[in-house]
Amino acid sequence: MNGMTASKMFYSANRVMEAYHNVLRPLCKKTGLPPMAVDILMFISNNPDNNTARDICLMRGLKSGIVSVHIERLVNEGLLTRETVPNDRRKTRLVLTPAAADIVKEGRELQIRFGHRLLKGISHADIEVFRKCLSAIGENIEDMRKNGFEKESEDI
């Protein structure tokens, strides 16, 4: 694996999140919201089909207790509402309110700038290779989640 270890991958992923939260810091300061609360607003805005607390926890790898605290705060501040899912009363959908629009707009602009800065100095061809690699890694992760190492690849 050319020196690429699981530890290095986790470290890099954590550094990306740290840099992302640094980029969000001015918005957090302006709104008085912690980074995770802004993350939740942005997640719901960017993933309208994954709009439950469970979705946020699963897709972002966050603990449910922490997510619940931030959701409660966002509801109390009028930035989110909870709606019961019509066909499944056990599920609660999280919906952005109009009061969240400016935060989401500014957050989206910061996300775009963050993405551009992250890829600065990397050619379009290399970015395309990177996307293909991430796609293959994603497929491998799903395979390992479902099958463990039962279907281990011989391509390594």
Per-domain residue ranges of the chain = 10-120, 123-156
Cβ-contact 24, 35 below 8 angstroms: yes
What pLDDT is stored for residue 90 in this prediction?
A: 87
- pLDDT per residue of the chain (156 residues) written in tens, 0 to 9: 567 788 998 899 899 999 999 999 999 999 999 999 999 999 999 999 999 999 999 999 899 999 999 999 999 999 999 999 888 888 899 999 999 999 999 999 999 999 999 999 999 999 999 999 999 999 998 999 899 876 655 555
Q: Give me the CATH topology for the region 10-120.
A: Arc Repressor Mutant, subunit A (1.10.10)
Could you give the count of Cα atoms lying within 13 Å of 65 in the half-sphere of its Cβ?
Answer: 0
Nearest by Cα to 118 from 105, 134, 101, 102: 134
What pLDDT is stored for residue 85 in this prediction?
A: 85
Residue 119's contacts (CB-CB under 8 Å, 6 or more residues apart) are 127
